[in-house]
Amino acid sequence: MVVKSGGGGGGAEEGAAGAAVRRWVEAGGGRLVLDGGLATELEAHGADLNDPLWSAKCILSSPHLIRKVHLDYIEAGANIIITASYQATIQGFESKGFSKEQGENLLTKSVEIAHEAREMFLKQHPDQSTPLRPILVAASIGSYGAYLADGSEYSGDYGEAGTLEFLKDFHRRRLQVLAEARPDLIAFETIPNKLEAQAYVELLEECNINIPSWFSFNSKDGVNVVSGDSLIECAKIANECAKVGAVGINCTPPRFIHSLILSIRKVTDKPILIYPNSGERYDAERKEWVESTGVSDGDFVSYVSEWCKDGAALIGGCCRTTPNTIRAISRSLNQYYPAP
């Protein structure tokens, strides 16, 4: 069974990006499994992420830990692993005293680490190297708010920096460097507002990026993105770009996903991806997750069949989810899409 994730969408032609993502979904038997929280696992392995670079700090200090977490997620059943570059920016590395060239090299390294993890897995499990189990690397691009490390990726309020040209200038070289590192996908994650989505679309065209991309937005009400912009309008921007191969939601409580998928389906026929957080509440001032505000792995996975019926074709987890979460998602999807 293969999911056609659209409903009443339309607009731009699917393009090579959409076709590539759809081929991967079909190769996976109708669904792909994304990985889970990277920072959560890095901290579980002893990494101190109390730093504006967050998980990107480990590109500098503990690349072996990143590699291990990637490998753990592949072994848990993930088809797509997302690099540690979400909060990695040239500007952020420069603020730590690195040169622009050194910052670019660290961005490249984030993709290389993920490639190494994939190669290690395939060397250890040669029987897993089949067309029915694509294992892909997605280079993560977090929002401008993620660079600020002040919680504004959960509000989309950038103040005076909230102009189209400023955001394009901020992201341009980072996008080029990550594309040059040859990931399979580029993941624009936790997009909080319509303006940044438009900046990404224009950069993909202006920089002539030919690697399939996905856009994932975040919401705290199940209707709009976190800035208050209409999710439907945001999804339309992604749909109209032929270089965007999938559209969806990340870092959002599981209870909101059903209604958000239905909204996205109104405006796109592209594959839909969803990777919610655990449902826990994030305290931006204290920079920590509030314990006991989320759902258990069992409760999280109980939503999976509903999300599949809604039209999601790529499913995983975001903050505070673990390899155990992804393993449970993979099992659930294997039941929903039994092997031929």
User: Do the Cβ atoms of 275 and 32 come closer than 8 Å?
Assistant: no
DSSP H or E segment with residue 203: helix 194-206
Host domain of residue 198:
20-281+298-336
For residue 99, the model assigns a pLDDT of 96
Give the residue ranges of the annotated binding site for Zn(2+): 251, 318-319
User: Do the Cβ atoms of 168 and 199 come closer than 8 Å?
Assistant: yes
For residue 292, the model assigns a pLDDT of 46
In a domain, 4, yes or no: no
CA distance 136 to 156: 29
Two structure tokens written together for 97: 């005293």
CA distance 338 to 64: 35
For residue 306, the model assigns a pLDDT of 94
For residue 287, the model assigns a pLDDT of 54
In a domain, 9, yes or no: no
Query: Strand, coil or helix: what is 272?
Result: strand
For residue 81, list its beta bridge partners: 137
For residue 296, the model assigns a pLDDT of 62
Two structure tokens written together for 86: 């979400």
In a domain, 139, yes or no: yes
In a domain, 290, yes or no: no
For residue 260, the model assigns a pLDDT of 97
pLDDT tens for the chain, residues 1 to 340: 233 344 455 545 567 888 999 999 998 889 999 999 998 899 999 888 888 888 888 999 999 999 999 999 999 999 999 999 999 999 999 999 999 999 999 999 999 999 999 999 999 988 776 666 899 999 999 999 999 988 899 999 999 888 999 999 999 999 999 999 999 999 999 999 999 999 999 999 999 999 999 999 999 999 999 999 999 999 999 999 999 999 999 999 999 999 999 999 999 999 999 999 987 565 555 555 555 444 666 678 889 999 999 999 999 999 889 999 999 999 999 887 766 5
Query: Strand, coil or helix: what is 288?
Result: strand
In a domain, 43, yes or no: yes
DSSP H or E segment with residue 244: strand 244-250
Two structure tokens written together for 118: 């994939």
For residue 300, the model assigns a pLDDT of 83
Give the residue ranges of the annotated binding site: 251, 318-319
Two structure tokens written together for 14: 């699917």
Per-residue DSSP letter, 99 = -
Model's pTM, two decimal places? Answer: 0.91
Two structure tokens written together for 69: 């977490």
- Share of the chain residues as helix, strand and coil, in percent rounded to the nearest 5: 50, 15, 40
Write the DSSP string, 126-177: GGG-STTS--EEEEEE--HHHHHTSSGGGT---GGG-SHHHHHHHHHHHHHH
- Count of the separate structural domains present in the chain: 1
In a domain, 7, yes or no: no
- CATH at 154: 3.20.20.330
Two structure tokens written together for 3: 């999911």
In a domain, 6, yes or no: no
In a domain, 141, yes or no: yes
